[in-house]
Amino acid sequence: MRPQVYLPLRKKYVLNFRDFSIPLGHETKIMGIVNVTPDSFSQDGCLTHRIDFTHKAITQAKKLIRQGAHIIDIGGESSRPGARKISAKEEIRRVIPAVKYLAQKTKVPISVDTYKTQVAKIALDAGASIINNIKGISLEKTLLKMIRDYRAAIVLMHMRGVPKTMQKDIFYNDIIKEILDSLRKSIENCLEIGIKSDKIIIDPGIGFGKTFEQNLILLNRLDAFNTLNCPILIGTSRKSFIGSVLNKDVHKRLLGTAATLCASIIKGAHIVRVHDVKDMHDVTLMTDAIINEKMTDLK
């Protein structure tokens, strides 16, 4: 008789930040992406010619919430490989009106995808409750102190360099160990500044300074990141490594994205950051039911 093998249970956490308390571990939480950019790799940016981009961003966010998003993540600067940096003033112009409206008119946490202290400050004043930061270990202490003082949550993502240069430094002796060490240092920096552990989320940075083979290794060994004792966020949606495996362009990567989410959730991911919330909601519900060996309540 073959021995029984059970899927590992995700670690359970409770995120407590600003006015929110979110249990993690039983139900996968979905972070819906709203790009207020003209140059997003996914070609879904709300910043287009002759269109009220704030209205478009708000409309998109409301749609994602109806489809099952638990968190909305708004970004005003593209982080695709080779993307150019924009000024804080321009980023504020793009994202803050939508942040302010959504924070007042919806009941889900609003995350802002930024690494700029000035943008984060205005976003938090406007009602944002999560700062989703791609720069991880190189965060300024001023920004960390601000997040602490606002009792906001922070996503710490691993990336080498900046989007414009990140694909030029992709050699690792041991990719899992090196990313673990980097994220551990980021967590320590937060704790030393006074950010509580129940406000910290980690993200290994799929697609940020990694080859497509390295992205596959990260997903296959994602459970290694449980040792950091923080909730895990994964962002694979429509990314180029899926296109490399399937030989499909950005608009035909839905099923490939679904496969990466299933694998990530089984390996311990708590939050998935996606463009296609409606379809991925079904994927997360089904995967949760398998992991939990019972039905997950529809929400």
Assess whether pLDDT exceeds 80 at residue 231: yes
C-beta of residue 257 within 8 angstroms of C-beta of residue 280: yes
The beta strands (E) that lie in 55-158 are given as: 71-75, 110-113, 130-133, 153-157
User: Rounded CA gap, 280 and 68, in Å?
Assistant: 9
Question: Closest Cα partner for 264 from 244, 294, 234, 299?
Answer: 234
221 is catalytic: no
Query: Please, which pLDDT band fits residue 299 given cuts at 50, 70 and 90?
Result: very low
Q: In this structure, which amino acid lies at residue 223?
A: D
Q: Look at 190 and 138; give whichever has higher pLDDT.
A: 190
Domain parsing of the chain, residue ranges: 28-284
Average of pLDDT values for 16-21?
97
pTM (predicted TM-score): 0.91
Per-residue pLDDT, averaged over 44-48, amounts to 53
Q: Is 232 helix (H, G, I), strand (E, B) or coil?
A: strand
pLDDT in tens, 84-142: 788 999 999 999 999 999 999 999 999 999 999 999 999 999 999 999 998 766 678 99
Active-site entry in 273, 278, 294, 299: 273
Q: Which of 239, 267, 294, 299 is catalytic?
A: 239
What CATH class has 28-284? alpha beta
Residue 273 annotated to the active site = yes
